[in-house]
Amino acid sequence: MSILDDILFNAKSAVNEVGKKANVFVDNTKLKFNAAELRGELKKKYEELGRLVYLGSKEEVEGCREEIDACIESITEINTQLKNIDENVQVNCSKRKCPACDSFNPKDAIFCNKCGTKIVGPTKSDDIQE
Ligand SMILES: [Zn+2]
């Protein structure tokens, strides 16, 4: 396995790992941590892509085209994951959970739409679970 394969493999498993977590509801701290990790991965990918394009144009490197394609695919994948995470963070921020029945209410709700319990205090998004 080449170094490049290693990089691609690691990025892939990082994405898959976050993808799995995105399916279950995780709190904003975790989401933001994952997003930061993905952004770091994305930066590496862009650097890798730049290097591959440079090598490919400088001389005929065998398999370079496939590596570039794989790199672009990973970047697209990471961007999709980042978008998912951003959406989840937004949903977290825009909902307020009822302390009595656990149903979700608008952020500015004072009383629960479902059971009428008074919802007070700041949103504890960490407690929100789907
Ligand atoms: Zn309620």
Q: What is the pLDDT of residues 1-26, one digit of tens each?
A: 455 566 556 555 555 554 444 444 55
pLDDT for the residue 78 = 96
Distances from the Cα of 16 to the Cα of 35, 46, 61, 80, 108, angstroms: 13, 19, 29, 12, 35
| d(CA 32, ligand 1 centre) in Å | 28
Tell me the CA–centroid distance for residue 122 and ligand 1, in Å. 16
Q: What is the pTM of this model?
A: 0.54
Over the stretch 84-125, which tens digit does the pLDDT of each residue have? 998 888 777 778 888 899 888 888 888 999 999 998 765 444
Spell 81-108 as b/e; 16+ CB within 10 A means b: bbebbeebbeebeebbbbeeeeebbeee
How far is ligand 1, taken at its centre, from the CA of residue 119, in Å?
8
66-94 mean pLDDT? 90
Is the per-residue pLDDT at 48 higher than 80? yes
Residue 126 pLDDT > 80, yes or no? no
Taking the centre of ligand 1 as the mean of its atom positions, its distance from the CA of residue 88, in whole angstroms, is: 22
